[in-house]
């Protein structure tokens, strides 16, 4: 039941809820983000079509992503829907919750390392939210852009140092773009020409570029970057230089793109 000062969800909001009790007419749930506030998931809102058994779709103790359909603050009634939540909304909400949980864990680590009080952490959160939507986003920003991104927040030196240390636990997001290069060179030392052309084209980018020999005349070139724009910017000069060198040695060059991949931050 909601108290007078308790925050209530808004109609249309996507929430995380824990199933607490099943009935013939639906399921009672507690809203995880609203201090366990009770809501009700009617049988007609569980799945499309006729639902014969509630327990076939939801079980006690299970967490579900639900849509808030109706809120009656006077009677503390919150009606929810499972069937109106799309897969995309579900995925987005679960990622958001994961981000929040990670942020909490990392802040606890900062608290321990810097020797901060609960009050210090509350103040720190307020400062973080002045720039970021999620606490976790701050740590991710530090990983991808460096600790200098926090300069404008004017945090204490020991706090900045702790944030920097905790940020090293994050594996930054990355993308992979790749393709097959078909390279031929009919010179007597053609294999060496191709090998040197590849090494020369990659140059200082070797930490982000991988070349695998598939079988004459094919080579797979894979480039990793923090986003597609960065990866594309790395790939283009490599291909241009490779083509120029191969054709200068009277060889042929062709590049065919393969499907790109994106990895999540960890």
Spell out the domain ranges in the chain: 14-85, 89-167, 174-263
| HSE-up (13 A, CA, CB side) for residue 91 | 3
Superfamily designation of domain 89-167: Translation initiation factor 2; subunit 1; domain 2 (1.10.150.190)
What per-residue confidence (pLDDT) applies to 266? 57
pLDDT score for 236: 93
* Higher-scoring residue by pLDDT: 262, 108: 108
pLDDT at residue 144 in the model: 81
Rounded CA gap, 50 and 47, in Å?
8
Look up the pTM and report it: 0.59
**Model confidence at 103: pLDDT above 90:** yes
pLDDT category, 3, cuts 50, 70, 90?
Answer: very low
Domain 174-263 has CATH 3.30.70.1130: yes
User: pLDDT > 90: what percent of the chain?
Assistant: 73
| pLDDT, averaged across the chain | 90
Confidence of residue 56 (pLDDT cuts 50, 70, 90): very high
The mean per-residue pLDDT over the stretch 50-58 comes to: 91
Identical fold, 14-85 and 174-263? no
Query: Residue 256: CA atoms inside 13 Å, Cβ hemisphere, count?
Result: 6
Which CATH number is 14-85's, of 1.20.1050.140, 2.40.50.140, 3.40.190.10, 3.40.50.80? 2.40.50.140
């Amino acid at each position: 039941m909601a108290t007078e000062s308790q925050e209530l969800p808004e109609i249309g909001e996507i929430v995380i809820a824990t199933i607490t009790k099943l009935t013939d007419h639906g399921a009672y749930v507690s809203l995880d983000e609203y201090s366990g506030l009770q809501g009700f998931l009617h049988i007609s809102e569980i799945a499309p079509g006729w639902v014969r058994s509630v327990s076939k779709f939801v079980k006690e103790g299970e967490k579900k992503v639900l849509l808030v359909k109706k809120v009656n603050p006077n009677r503390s009634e919150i009606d929810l829907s499972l069937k109106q939540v799309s897969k995309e909304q579900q995925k987005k909400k679960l990622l958001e919750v994961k981000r929040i949980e990670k942020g909490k864990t990392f802040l606890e680590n900062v608290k321990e390392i810097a020797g901060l009080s609960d009050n210090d952490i509350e103040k720190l959160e307020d400062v973080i939210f002045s720039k970021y939507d999620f606490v976790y986003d701050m740590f991710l920003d530090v990983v991808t852009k460096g600790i200098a991104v926090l300069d404008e927040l004017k945090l204490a030196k020991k706090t900045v140092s702790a944030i920097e240390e905790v940020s090293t636990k994050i594996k930054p997001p990355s993308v992979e773009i790749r393709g097959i290069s078909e390279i031929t060179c009919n010179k007597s030392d053609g294999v060496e020409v191709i090998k040197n052309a590849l090494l020369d084209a990659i140059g200082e980018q070797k930490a982000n570029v991988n070349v695998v020999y598939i079988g004459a005349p094919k080579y797979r070139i894979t480039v990793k970057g923090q986003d597609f724009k960065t990866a594309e910017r790395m790939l283009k000069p490599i291909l241009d230089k490779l083509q120029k060198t191969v054709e200068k040695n009277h060889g042929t060059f062709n590049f065919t793109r393969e499907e790109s991949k994106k990895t999540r931050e960890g």
